[in-house]
C-alpha cells in the first residue's frame, strides 16, 4: 500500500472518531517550527515560512469543513521584530504575496479575514493589501480567519486598560463599572467568542504572549510536529484530544444523577 493510501486510511479512521456536535467554534493556533523545519533540511529558514502558508491553507479548509467558525493564527508577534532584518522583510513580503494570491479564493469561500494587531509599522503596500482584503470580505459570514500580526497579548491588555482609565478620568464611567464585560468589549477580538482550543506546534509548551486574556479557559494541545509538517491528520488528532477533555471552568464536573 502506498504511503498516501495509508495516510488517507488513517485520516478517515480519525474522521469517524470525531464528534461533529462537539467541534470547537473557535480554534487558536501558534504556528511554530518553520525555521527548525527548514534548518533540519539544510534549507534557509524562509523555506519553512513559505511551506507554512500552504499548511495554513489546508488547515483553514479542514476547519471550515468540520464546522468550526473561527480560526485565529499567530503570524507575527511583537517580539518577531528582533529577528534578522532579512527574515523580517521576507515575512512581510510573504504576507503581501500570500494575501494577493489567495484573497479571491478566500472571498469565494465566503471567509471573512481580519488582521489583529498594530499595523502602524508595516510597509504601506502591505497595509493597503490588508485593508482591501478586509473590506472585500467584511460581509462574508461562513467563517472568520483572524491573522494576528505585530500582536502581543500584554500590549493588548495595556491598550484596553489605558482606554478604560481615560474614560474613568473624563468621568464617562465610574471605576465601579469596570468589569470583565467592559474589558471584553474593548479587546481587539471584541464580539468574538474566546477560543475553546489552542494548538501549538513544534512541541514548545508556552503561550508566548498570545491572546493572554482570551485563552483564560482554553484547552491547550501541544503537537510535536513542526508547522510545515502539520496537516489534516494532526489537526484531527488535536480535535479528538480536545473532545476527550472535561471542561470545568474552575467548577466540578456535574454528575449525571445530580439535578443541580
Instruction: Point out the catalytic residue in the list 9, 13, 32, 257.
Output: 32
Compute the least distance from the CB of residue 28 to ligand FPP, in Å.
14
Which one, 101 or 185, has the nearer CB to ligand FPP?
A: 101
What's the Cα-to-Cα distance from 195 to each of 2, 62, 66, 213, 217, rounded to whole Å? 37, 17, 16, 11, 8
From 13, 80, 93, 209, the catalytic residue: 80
Q: Considering the complex, what minimum distance in angstroms separates the CB of residue 224 from ligand FPP?
A: 13
CA distances (Å), 153 to each of 36, 105, 165, 214, 230, in order?
Answer: 25, 30, 18, 9, 25
- Side-chain half-sphere exposure of 31, counting CA atoms within 13 A: 28
Applying CB under 6 A, which of residues 23, 28, 29, 35 lies at the interface with ligand FPP?
35
Q: Is 75 in the site for ligand FPP (CB under 6 A)?
A: yes
Neighbours of 212 (CB within 10 A): 15
How many Cβ atoms sit within 10 Å of the Cβ of residue 128?
12
Label residue 182 exposed, middle or buried (CB < 10 Å: 0-12, 13-18, 19+).
middle
Task: Return the residue of 24, 33, 117, 153 that touches ligand FPP, per CB under 6 A.
Answer: 33
The binder of ligand FPP chosen from 11, 14, 18, 36 (CB under 6 A): 36
Q: Is 141 a catalytic residue?
A: no
Residue 32 is among the residues annotated as catalytic for this protein: yes
By CB under 6 A, the residues from 88 to 147 that bind ligand FPP are 94-95, 98-99, 147
Specify the pairing of strand 26-30 against strand 197-200. parallel
List residues near ligand FPP by CB under 6 A: 31-36, 49, 52-53, 56, 75, 80, 94-95, 98-99, 147, 202
The catalytic residues are 32, 80
Amino acid at each position: 500500500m502506498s504511503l498516501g493510501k495509508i495516510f488517507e486510511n488513517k485520516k478517515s479512521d480519525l474522521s469517524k472518531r470525531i464528534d461533529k456536535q462537539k467541534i470547537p467554534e473557535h480554534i487558536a493556533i501558534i504556528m511554530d517550527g518553520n525555521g527548525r523545519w527548514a534548518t533540519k533540511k539544510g534549507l534557509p529558514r524562509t523555506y519553512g515560512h513559505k511551506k507554512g502558508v500552504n499548511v495554513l491553507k489546508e488547515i483553514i479548509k479542514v476547519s471550515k469543513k468540520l464546522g468550526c467558525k473561527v480560526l485565529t493564527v499567530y503570524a507575527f508577534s511583537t517580539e518577531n521584530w528582533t529577528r534578522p532584518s532579512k527574515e523580517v522583510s521576507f515575512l512581510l513580503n510573504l504576507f503581501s504575496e500570500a494575501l494577493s494570491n489567495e484573497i479571491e479564493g478566500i472571498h469565494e469561500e465566503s471567509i471573512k479575514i481580519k488582521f489583529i494587531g498594530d499595523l502602524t509599522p508595516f510597509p504601506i503596500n502591505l497595509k493597503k493589501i490588508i485593508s482591501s482584503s478586509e473590506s472585500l470580505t467584511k460581509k462574508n459570514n461562513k467563517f472568520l480567519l483572524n491573522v494576528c500580526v505585530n500582536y502581543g497579548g500584554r500590549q493588548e491588555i495595556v491598550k484596553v486598560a489605558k482606554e478604560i482609565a481615560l474614560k474613568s478620568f473624563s468621568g464617562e464611567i465610574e471605576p465601579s463599572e469596570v468589569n470583565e464585560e467592559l474589558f471584553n468589549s474593548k479587546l481587539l477580538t471584541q464580539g468574538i467568542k474566546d477560543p475553546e482550543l489552542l494548538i501549538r506546534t513544534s512541541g514548545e509548551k508556552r503561550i508566548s504572549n498570545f491572546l493572554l486574556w482570551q485563552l483564560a479557559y482554553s484547552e491547550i494541545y501541544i503537537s510535536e510536529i513542526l508547522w510545515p509538517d502539520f496537516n489534516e491528520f494532526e489537526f484531527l488528532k488535536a480535535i479528538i484530544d480536545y473532545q476527550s477533555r472535561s471542561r470545568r471552568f474552575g467548577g466540578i464536573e456535574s454528575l449525571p444523577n445530580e439535578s443541580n
